[in-house]
Amino acid sequence: MKIKIGGLLYDVIAVTDLHTTDGEGRKVDLNGRITYGTQQIEVARQITYERQLVTLLHECAHGILEHAGQDAPENSLVAMGYGLFALIRENPELIEAVKRGRIEAASDEHD
Ligand SMILES: [Zn+2]
């Protein structure tokens, strides 16, 4: 999958054994990681499909902020991952309206 964030195209890949190393050289497992230089979003393969999507949206939120020269506390971005997942999944009419560019569908017009 590819995702465009702020006009840049990111490759999304599922990775086995996604981790980083802490300050003392210990391996720390990650659910996801966005790398701006290579325009790549990695998502851990071993987590559930739903958690992969939450993680992907979380990494997209990181990317949106990065492209705007902003940053936010990690816990705010965790909230955005879950919040966006629920918003998108539970509101298909909202997604259609955003794609359409207006709230009302043509068949809903009253004028
Ligand atoms: Zn994060």
Distance 99 CA to ligand 1 centre (A): 27
Assigned domain for 109 exists: no
Distance 58 CA to ligand 1 centre (A): 6
Give residue 65's domain range: 2-100
Assigned domain for 111 exists: no
Assigned domain for 87 exists: yes
Distance 98 CA to ligand 1 centre (A): 26
Q: pLDDT tens-digit profile of 29-39?
A: 999 999 999 99
Assigned domain for 107 exists: no
Domain at 47, CATH number: 3.30.2010
Distance 61 CA to ligand 1 centre (A): 8
Nearest-10 crossing angle of helices 74-90, 49-67: 120
CB within 8 Å of 57: residues ≥ 6 apart: 80, 81, 84, 85, 88
> What domain count does the chain have?
1
Distance 30 CA to ligand 1 centre (A): 9
Check residue 25 and give its pLDDT. Answer: 95
Assigned domain for 33 exists: yes
Assigned domain for 110 exists: no
Q: pLDDT tens-digit profile of 30-78?
A: 999 999 999 999 999 999 999 999 999 999 999 999 999 999 999 999 9
